[in-house]
Every structure is written in C-alpha cells, then in structure tokens.
Chains A and B, each alone.
Chain A
Amino acid sequence: MKAVICAGPPTTGKTTVLKQVVKKVIREGFHPVYLKVDVQYAVEDELFKKEFGIPVKKVYSGELCPDHCNVMVLGDAVEWARKEKADFLFVETAGLCLRCSPYIEGSLGIVVLEATSGMNLPRKIGPMLTLADIAVVTKIDLISQAEREVFRARVIDAAAGVSICETNALYGIGIDSLVKKILASPEIASSLVLRGNPPVGTCTVCVGKKEVGWQRHFGVVRPLENDIFYRGE
C-alpha cells in the first residue's frame, strides 16, 4: 500500500486535485481510500464516497492542531486502509499554522498551492512546502504567464528538490503527470515517522492561558523586539 499526504492552505484546490487523481487511479484498476483531516467542518469525505463509492473517513482535530491530529491518527488510518485492502491511502489535511508539515517518511507528500495567492506565497509557508515531494500549482489559467514563471522560480528557491506540477484541476489539465508520480511512489514503511521536526513551541498559550503579553506567560516566549527565549524553571 502507498500513502499520499496532501496539504495546502484552505481553498487552494486540494479536494479538486485529489478528485481528479482518484478518478484516474481508479481507472488504472487500483483501490484507494480517503481520509480527511480538518478542524471543525468538512464534507469532502461525503463527496468522495458519493462520486467514487470508495471507503472514506473524516476526523475533526477540534482542540488539537490539525497537523498534530494527523500525527495522532495516521497509525490507525494506515491500519484501517490495510483492512479495506486499499492500494492507496489518500489523506487530505488543512495544515494551518505553517510551522509543521504533515508528511511522513516513506510516503508521498503533496502540497497544493494556488497560483492566484501571490508571488510571495512560496516564501511564506515553510515546511509545508520545503518538505513536500511535489508542489501542485492550481488555477494557472487565471494569472499571467509571467507570474506563473515567477511563482515557479520562487517555489524552487524555497524548496530546491520539489517537483512542480502546474494544473488547472477544474478541467483535469496537468493531472496526468501527477498521477504518474503517485503511481511510482514507494510502498509505505512499516514504522511511520514524521519527515520534519515539529517546532518547539510549548508555552502557556498552548494550554489555554488567555492573558496577553509575554510577561504573563511561561515556557517558550518572545517579546516584540527580541528573539524567543525560555522563561521558567
């Protein structure tokens, strides 16, 4: 079985890209399953079930950050996918705070970015892009050729090893080369390990202390004009 983990900012077209991919993967004779990780609302699992009749699951991260939630549930999800005799486990996750990345070793990591989000986006989103195997750039029909080129150059600047697929996913344009890469990805490893280091960011905000100002917090804190430091025992 192979695992494909797909991240990206909201509304970039992750679901549209995956729908096109799943359609082609099924046409190739494979059996995929789909897991959606989101914060508090998602209907994508129902869409996949209705359109393709494949096993689906969704999990709301709620109080957990979605990337952390992903780490927690992915072991169970792989087991579930094996029980369903799946060839591919597709995981779609929100990835909101841009510090973590949800990709695991021995699986394919895909980040979906929209060309319309501005030429500086590749410089802003950190490990979600830098640790991905493939960057899918969507909505390419809406921007100028020049901006597509700048966007691409900046993706490569930020993540030298990443391979780029430009798509207009609404019409399935550019999906073939992505599917080829997914089919050629490695089998999932027996022990699952996160690809990147999660940030050391434990502070009292994390545990629900609402007062504003670093002086009222402990753990890893930071003032406006200084770098982070540890405050406490």
Chain B
Amino acid sequence: MHIEKLTILGGVGKSGQPEPVAEISLKMGDVISVVGSTGSGKTTLVDDIALFADRNTPTQRQVLINGVPAPEEFTNDPSKNPVAFITQHTNFLSDLPVNEFLKIHAGIRRRDNISSVIEETIDFSNKLTGEPIDPENAMTELSGGQTRALLIADAVIIGNSPVILLDEIENAGIHRTKALELLRGYEKIFIFVTHDPRIALLSDFRVVMQNGAMVKIIEAHDGEAKVAEEIKKLDDMILHCRKLIRSGERLDEDIFKELR
C-alpha cells in the first residue's frame, strides 16, 4: 500500500479534557519530534501511532492513513505494517551471524539483490556507530549502540518502512545528527521521541506533550535555526570531548579555552 499521509486526530489528555491540538497531519519526508517531560505522554502518543488507534485506546485518539482508518492487515502482519517502532526495549534475540540474519529478513521481504541490500544495511549502521559491525559477528555480540544502529538501518533499508518511530535514540550512544542527516535522504516519516535539543531543533516541527495531551505544535523557524547553530557547536564540543575521553586522551588547556 502506498502511503502519502498520516493523520493523528486528537483525543483526551489525562484530565479527560479534549487535547488542545486537534489534528496533526504528516506527509512523506516529514521529520518531527515529540517533546515533553517524563510522564507527559510522549510514548503513549507513539504507541497510539504504532497501534493505529481508532478511538479504542485510553487517549481516544484516531490515527488515519491516507485519510482513512488503517486496514486490519497492518496490525496482523508485520511485513505489511508500514510503521516500524524502535523502542528503548527493542532488541535482537537471535544469535545468528549478522549477515545471515539480515539474509533471512531480506528473504522474507522478497527483496532482490539480497547481498547488496545487506551491504547497504551494514554500511548505513556503521555510519551511525563508533566501531564498525563485523558481518560475521553474532547479533547478540553487538554493543548497545551497534544494536540500535542496526535496528534503524534494518527498518529503513530491508523493512523499507514508510513510517519510523524512534523512542529516545539519544540514549544509545549513536551519532544523532548523522542519523538525522542520513534519514532525511529517505522519503519517509520519522517521528522522534526525544529529550535531545539538537534532535528537536533539527526536526521540521515538534509536538509538545503535557499531562497526556498534545498541547502545542512548534514549527521550525529562522530564529531557532540560529540557536540551533549555537547548540550544535556546544554539542559538537561535548562530542569531541567524549571522543577524546573514549580514546584514552586527557582534556587539556586548549579544550578549556575553547569551552570558554
């Protein structure tokens, strides 16, 4: 099924009052963030999307695909489900070697040129992590960051899912801006649940959650783009320090001056 549009129709917040944001409409290529403090309902919102809520979840939201409720096959057959959801708990359990596992998945998806698809997938995930994945390694031997990167790469390339939900990927130690940059190259809808200012500011718009309700939509605008630039510098500095610490270096005077 060709997906052009995903619509979220507001329901009620934790107080039982209608949500201030009555409708969010997303089209292919949109990258958005969901922000808000812990317990504000961010994960519940993406759960509703993953479930294709049809006024049948506690929030009473409705999710429409191309303007109509999702067909049942979406929820019963994961290979027809257009939504890939990578949660903080999602993991690989298989102990097969990475390339063999990807081959099985690509086979089920009936992808052509399986070996080049696998190569592309591993390349993609290697761009997101510090240490490259050895295709002969067992899936269960991958580090936390490698696992997260491979989950994303597999959903984007082999799964070819049109809608990808990513719940707090900043915790995984993968290269976030690189991820955003790479993901923008694929015509998909990306929804990031995030506490990370950089991810939030690099999105097309962000949905603000409060007390279980969507309370505000904030579009990216020029004023913020300037702030984003500054945050980028700070963030890059922190990443640079992290890299130095990781590789066994000391942080010296020069870094101190730069920080000032």
Q: Which residues of A does B touch, CB under 8 Å?
A: 116, 118-119, 141-150, 152-153, 163-166, 171, 173-174, 176-177
Contact = CB atoms under 8 A, between A and B. Distances in A.
Contacts of B56: 176
A143 B77 contact: no
Contacts of B87: 141
Contact of B108 (A116, A143, A150): A150
Given A149-B79, A150-B104, A152-B78, A144 B90 contact: yes
Nearest to B106: A146
A146 B92 CA distance: 9
B90 A143 contact: yes
Main secondary structure on chain B at its contact with chain A?
mixed
Contacts of A143: 90-93
Contacts of A148: 78
Contacts of B51: 173-174
A225 B70 CA distance: 53
B84 A145 contact: yes
A147 B75 CA distance: 16
6 contacts: A141-B85, A149-B79, A149-B105, A164-B76, A171-B47, A173-B51
B94 interface: yes
A144 B151 contact: yes
A119 B78 CA distance: 14
A144 B92 contact: yes
A174 B75 contact: yes
Contact of A177 (B72, B79, B94): B72
B12 interface: no
A177 B71 CA distance: 12
B89 A141 contact: yes
B101 A173 contact: no
Contact of A146 (B75, B77, B85, B154): B154
B109 interface: yes
Contacts of B76: 163-166, 177
Contacts of B41: none
Contacts of A177: 72, 75-76
A147 B94 contact: yes
B161 interface: yes
B159 interface: yes
Nearest to B108: A153
B217 interface: no
Contacts of B155: 145
B78 A118 contact: no
B122 to A, nearest CB: 13
Given A141-B90, A150-B108, A152-B78, 9 more contacts: A116-B93, A119-B104, A145-B84, A145-B155, A146-B154, A149-B78, A149-B105, A149-B108, A152-B77
B45 interface: no
A99 B85 CA distance: 36
A162 to B, nearest CB: 11
Contacts of B101: 146
Give the top 4 A-B pairs by smallest Cβ distance, nearest first. Answer: A146-B105, A148-B78, A153-B108, A149-B78
Contacts of A174: 51, 75
B93 A145 contact: no
Nearest to A174: B75
A143 B158 CA distance: 16
A150 B105 contact: yes
Contact of A149 (B86, B93, B109): B109
